[in-house]
Structure 1
Amino acid sequence: MKNFSIGMAIALAANSAWTSPALAQAEPSPAMPLGNPGSWITTADYPPMALRLEEEGIASFRLRIGVDGKVKECTITSSTGSELLDEQTCGALTFRARFRPARDADGNPTEGSYSSSVRWEIPSRSGGGNEDLSLSMRPSANLAEFVVDFAADGTVAGCELIAVEPANGLAETIQNQFCQQYEYSGFQVTPYTDDDGNPVSRRARIRFSTTIEEIPESEAGQ
């Protein structure tokens, strides 16, 4: 599948005038991305139904960044025309995007904002594109095992695919499609408790098995 990109543009002003450190006052600074913004959304995040419906588009967004560098709010400022793609854009960004928080003139962390866009694009339908898309939607025999960690307050602390058989290039897609239901949009469960009723953290180990079988002759054509 062809990669799509997140276009980022941040302008920084440079002041060449020298000021005594004792008299210097910090300039307000904007929230800055940590790591590679291109990793916040990948083609593995493409919603399966959007692929089936062949939905594409560019989603422009604005993020409200908290003093802890996490996304507090995501707003789609220009829609792709697909509710699925718009929701996936904000879901992935809210979960993955992290920033060096903005700072005020006194150098204190403060809320900030960040705006950019994501292009969702399906591979060309020429040269076997339809066949590739159909294969990506076809179930295959596999065994997948996940671990989902829940914090004492019931929030999801982590989700990871720890095994997939047979090993193949779909591991990232499988993990994203399963884990997003827990990790996106602040998902929270009723906390687990110990024998005394106190909230505790717990790890859930989940296994899925898919088998491909022949249809019995007695059921063929039904």
Structure 2
Amino acid sequence: MDKKLIFEKVDHTLLTQTATWEEIKEICDDAISYGTASVCIPASYVKRVKEYMKDRMAVCTVIGFPNGYSTTAVKEFETKDAINNGADEIDMVINLGDLKNGQYDMIEEEIRTLKAACGNHILKVIIETCLLTKEEIIKMCEVVTNAGADYIKTSTGFSKSGATFEDVELFAKHIGEGVKIKAAGGITSFEDAEKFIELGASRLGTSRIVKLAKNEESTGY
């Protein structure tokens, strides 16, 4: 697969707690250079990044991140604030406690609330697959579909592990029409990225793919 096609599906990501403006600016510049789908950054940087990037690149941020246990009202406020600051895409984390309690209706309602807050902006729903059973993953495919979200996303990258091929295969079998897949966390090679895309992922949350490309260019490989 042409690397350009892989870059076009990458949400070039920097979500570390210590991220500086110089580091954020670097990933913005790299995103433009390599033609990624978006940059995914902390909400505190959204306004500054939008002013810096203007309309050259989609700006994505995270809500209820990384644990997901903020109240729905807080997540709704975060979402509206991020969009007012210029965010084009929102990646929200579900309340995993609600999931483990079997309160799927509450999760669905929360997703609906945040989708309403997003309006025409893209909403991706992070379900943190590494903490779920196969049955819970399948159920969340149903919930995310029913709630009208745009994407179901595997992972925050801040838990036990990131995306697996099995996760994406399961998503592809059980999501409804109109819902896309984002694989995130632990995507360490172009080969892995290509495999995730072949299995059905439309987006890849990663910082390493662009770093690999830059390293290859600098070393001549």
| TM-score, structure 2 normalization | 0.22
Greater relative CO (CA pairs within 8 A, separation 6+): 1
- Tell which structure's C-alpha radius of gyration is larger: 1
Q: Flag the structure with higher strand content.
A: 1
Q: Flag the structure with higher helix content.
A: 2
